[in-house]
Amino acid sequence: MSQTQERPAAGATLPTAAASTDTLTLGVVGLGYVGLPTAVAFVAGGGRVIGYDVSEPRRTAIAHGEVDLLPRDLDRLAGLQGDDRFVVTGDADRLAEADAIIVCVPTPVDHHLTPDLTALSSACQAVVERARPGQLLVLTSTTYVGTTRDLLDGPLRARGLEPGVDVFVAFSPERIDPANVDFPVEATPRVVGGLTPACTRRAAEVLRRTAPLVHQVSSPEAAEMAKLHENTFRAVNIAYVNEVADVCQRLGLDVTEVIGAAATKPYGFMRFTPGPGVGGHCIPCDPHYLLWQLRADRTEAPVVDATMRAIAARPGRIVQRARDVLAEAGTALAGARVLVFGVSYKPGVADIRESPALEIIDRLRRSGAEVSYADPYVKAISSDVIAVDDGVLISTDQPWRRAWDLVIAHTLHPGEDTHWLAHAGLVLDATYQLPAGVGTRV
């Protein structure tokens, strides 16, 4: 392991590390959308990885390269099969081989929008039980403020391991943006806050092997809150721009023209675009970690609260507009043949977690519509995530060959042919990205 260096002040940003010559073994706990690209980037940077994931199907999918990654990372993964620098295992005891461990397991919310800390608690317990002197433990899952202290600091001390002396502990939030080729792991700066200055320093040394910049803060709590702030900021702006879209629709204005005009201001404005709602494991969930924590403290956050209510209401708004445009055309929603075009939560990924399309499909079906969907990235939707009579919904091939009473454009994947939508009859554009004259905006 590399020698420690002078401790930069909190708030300092470290430059890109030169390629490291010593081989550091990184344990990655959770090989999902975050953990897997992090792991392959680390090996590409000269390290060795012990990837631990509890899911056997996930480990098998990784072994077969059947995973949702950037093309560059898929190539890297293919090149690592059989390479002992990249071990994928279901045996947590192998984490003892690691010099440093990062934990990146899911932190979803349940049906009551309460944080579900099951995976994070069990992952931290597995890591704490096997922690050995000298190891660095970095929590990266998005979570409430104080998690690092609750799930790592306390339990490690109970084992007789003092953070900053025997082991090193930090929080460094993940910022991966799946399918974003402009910002892979190596192009995205990181924030890190350790339990002690030595913890921060040690974590920054490891993280800058893959990150271009490492910004140090004074505590894990500051790093935890920075992540919640980043994603709540996005949530607030998305909810607001959806509201602007609704206002423009009422006023007979083209919202994309209005946004384009506002975006010519070179300062003090950031472009957000309206859509059918938010999905994935971040924006629909993370602000609830903050709200949940504040509720216990009897502290109100009315802007965040209103934001999450607006976000939750968005799929219902899309269905109401579907009902309206069908009614204007003289067709009832009940019995109408409706195609939802694109169901993943964002373009270029197969991830349907929290996708607004799921609620839209569910609401349409409950209203009596005959609903189909088409998405080249999502071959089937099982009854686990949406109640379906026959247990599974299958993506419709060549949707342009069938007649629909209404097509709802939900997600437009890169390179996808959308020309046929100009001749598809009634189209409701929830993406706000179809060319002018194609479809009706939500």
User: Which residue lies nearer to ligand NAD by CB, 104 or 430?
Assistant: 104
Q: Report how far apart the first and last C-alpha atoms of the chain are (Å, whole number).
A: 55
282 is catalytic: yes
DSSP H helices, 265-345, are 286-296, 302-328
Quote the CA–CA distance of 54 and 123 in Å, as a whole number: 9
Kindly write down the DSSP assignment for every residue of 284-304, as one continuous string. TTHHHHHHHHHHHTT---HHH
User: Which residue lies nearer to ligand NAD by CB, 190 or 410?
Assistant: 190
3-state class (DSSP) for residue 398? coil
Selection from 114, 106, 136, 182 nearest residue 4 by Cα: 136
User: Which residue lies nearer to ligand NAD by CB, 108 or 197?
Assistant: 108
Record the tokens describing residue 11, joined without a space. Answer: 């708030």
Contact call for residues 192 and 181 (beta carbons, < 8 A): no
User: Which residue lies nearer to ligand NAD by CB, 53 or 405?
Assistant: 53
Active-site annotation holder among 104, 124, 248, 282: 282
By Cβ distance, which residue is nearest to ligand NAD?
A: 32
Quote the CA–CA distance of 168 and 400 in Å, as a whole number: 57
CB of 121 to ligand NAD, least distance (A): 8
CB of 18 to ligand NAD, least distance (A): 27
Strand-pair partners of 370: 337
CB of 323 to ligand NAD, least distance (A): 32
CB of 360 to ligand NAD, least distance (A): 21
CA dihedral defined by 322, 325, 330, 335, rounded to 10 degrees?
Answer: -10
Record the tokens describing residue 249, joined without a space. Answer: 């629709």
User: Which residue lies nearer to ligand NAD by CB, 53 or 429?
Assistant: 53
Give the number of C-alpha atoms closer than 13 A to the C-alpha of residue 156, restricted to the C-beta side: 28
User: Which residue lies nearer to ligand NAD by CB, 52 or 144?
Assistant: 52
Interacting residue ranges for ligand NAD, rule: CB under 6 A = 29-35, 52-55, 58, 104-107, 119, 122-123, 141-142, 174-176, 178, 280-282
CB of 29 to ligand NAD, least distance (A): 5
Quote the CA–CA distance of 388 and 129 in Å, as a whole number: 42
Q: Which residues are catalytic?
A: 282
